[in-house]
Structure formats: C-alpha cells, structure tokens
Amino acid sequence: MAKITSPALLAAALSLNFLGQNSVYGQQQAPGVVTAVQGQAQLTRPALATPTLLRQKDDIMLRDVVDTREKSMARMLFGGKATVTMRELSRFEVREETLPGGATRSTIQLNSGAILVNVARQLMKPGDEVIINTNNAVATVRGSMIYAESLDASQSTFAQISGTATLECPRPATTPTVTLTRFTAADIKGLGANCNLGPIRDITTEFAALLLRPFQMPRTVTREGNGSQIVRNGVAETTVISDAALVVTGGGNQQSPPANSQPTNTTAPVTAGGGPLPAANPAKLPPPCRTC
C-alpha cells in the first residue's frame, strides 16, 4: 500500500475524508427542529469537535444530545407530530428507526431532568410510536401529553396529562406493563432486575396544571430558512398544547378528577408525586454533561 509522506498530500487526504463524512451526515434528514430556546442550551453532535449553543431553527439530528442550563428551557418539534419541551438542567438524546411496514419509532432518551412530551394523535400514521426511555423505565405514547422526570439513575416519575401511555421496566426486569391514563402517575425505582413499578396514583387537575406551568415559554416564529415549515408545524403544535392546557386548567371540556383525589396546595412547592417538598430538599439534579 502506498504511503502518503508529503504534508500537503496528507492534509488533502484528511480534508477529503472529513468532507466525505460530513457530506454523508448532511444528507440525513433532520428528524427535529428547535422551535424555541429560553436561556442557554447546549448541543453535542458526534460530527462536531466541540459542543455548540443551541439556537432556534437548529436541526436536531439523530444521536444529538441536548443539555439545558440553569434557568433555561428548550422546545423541539419532531416529525411535525411531537414536541419535546425540556426544563432546566435536563439532558436528552433522540433516536429514530423505521419499523416494518414503513411506520416510524422515535425514541427520546431522558438522561436527567424533566421533559414534557406532547404527541398529536391526528398526525400519527398507523404504527407510528414515540418511546420515552429513562435509565430505568420505558413509556410508549401515542397521541398524548406526558411528563417524565429522571431524578437519578434508579428513580424516575411519569405523569399522564392527557391520553394514555404504557409504562414498563426495561429488560431483564419482569414486572408487568401498566397503563397510565389521564391524571394518573407512577414512580419507578431500581435498576435492571431490581426495577420496580410503584402503584398508579391519581393526580388532581390543580397538580397537573402545576406540572405544566414550568414548561410555559414565549413562542417566536422565524421568517427565514425553514421558517415556513416551522410555522405550519408550529400551528399544529400550538393547537394541541393549547387544547390540552385548557382541559387541565379548567377552560375546556374537563373531566372531573377522581373522587379519591385530594386538593393540591398550589402555593407550596410539590414533588412529582404530588406531595409537598420538605423545607430543605437534598435531591438536586446533577448539572448537564459538559465534556461528553
């Protein structure tokens, strides 16, 4: 095999290889687009040498990792049918695969923090799936709004705001799958074979509204690049989120909360399970990854 000994030839070869890799990467269809950023968020992409700041209109590619910093939020639209809104100090990655028959499975990997996922049922094709993975739980949603929180590697919480979702421990755990319905929640604790699904509990409309409140953020519309697509998809996104929020806060066709639900004190901080936080809360989310 011939060896490249000239520095100029070596530089040219490396340049061609880099351009070739990026050409292939650039041909991938971006599954997501950033519709809003408040504060600062970081994008880590395998093809980039260093992380960059996340900005509105940025494409979200497969295997991209997004981190939000303190007092920051980000919202992304995936496939024109699902939005993911990240709270501060959260980290997630997105994956996507084509299922037999042409349906799409989108997987949202929540590593830390909290997200609100909203899937528009009317925009889902037959067989499409949206999966939310934490370190110790798997939730499958189809046309619903769900809150997911990962406190640490061995503890996570899911709360169903609208629609339904199936929830289970990942293998090798053998716990049965449960179904979350509107205004229900569940905690998952433990890892691997020790993963355990806690009992499904009811949450009140007031508590559901409290879960939604931290995810509210101003919405702006761009006028360049892929702005027209953002506008079209954003209209559908806004309609679905608004309808669900109206139901939760009492402005829509609201169903009565379960009879055994207790009123939630809306003036005090609460945990994902609906109970008040202690005066000094030792459980603080770890800062986003800065080096990976």
Quick check: 75 and 85 in contact, CB under 8 A?
yes
**Domain housing 37:** 30-249
The token pair that represents 182 in the structure block = 């509107």
pLDDT of residue 224: 37
CB within 8 A of 86, min separation 6: which ones?
Answer: 41, 66, 68, 73, 74, 75, 92, 113, 114, 115
Domain presence at residue 8: no
Q: Is the dihedral of CA 225, 231, 234, 238 positive or negative?
A: positive
Domain presence at residue 107: yes
pLDDT of residue 11: 45
pLDDT of residue 243: 55
* Nearest Cα residue to 201 out of 167, 246, 155: 167
Domain presence at residue 148: yes
CA distances from 256 to 184, 199, 265 (A): 13, 21, 18
The token pair that represents 151 in the structure block = 């406190």
pLDDT of residue 218: 63
The pTM of this model reads 0.71
pLDDT of residue 70: 95
* Regions of the chain with pLDDT less than 70: 1-28, 218-292
Domain presence at residue 64: yes
Quick check: 18 and 42 in contact, CB under 8 A?
no
User: How many domains does the chain contain in total?
Assistant: 1
The token pair that represents 67 in the structure block = 């981190």
Domain presence at residue 219: yes
DSSP letter at 244 equals H
Q: How many residues does the chain have?
A: 292
∠ CA 72-137-85, nearest 5°, is: 25
Domain presence at residue 19: no
pLDDT of residue 122: 82
Render pLDDT for 145-163 as a digit per residue (tens, 0 to 9): 999 999 898 999 999 999 9
We report the CATH number of the domain holding residue 103 as 2.60.120.1440
DSSP letter at 290 equals S
From the number of C-beta atoms within 10 Å of its C-beta (0-12, 13-18, 19+), residue 175 rates as middle
The shares of helix, strand and coil residues in the chain, as percent rounded to the nearest 5, are: 20, 35, 45
DSSP letter at 276 equals B
Quick check: 165 and 133 in contact, CB under 8 A?
no
pLDDT of residue 94: 87
CB within 8 A of 48, min separation 6: which ones?
Answer: none
Domain presence at residue 77: yes
pLDDT of residue 30: 78
Domain presence at residue 56: yes
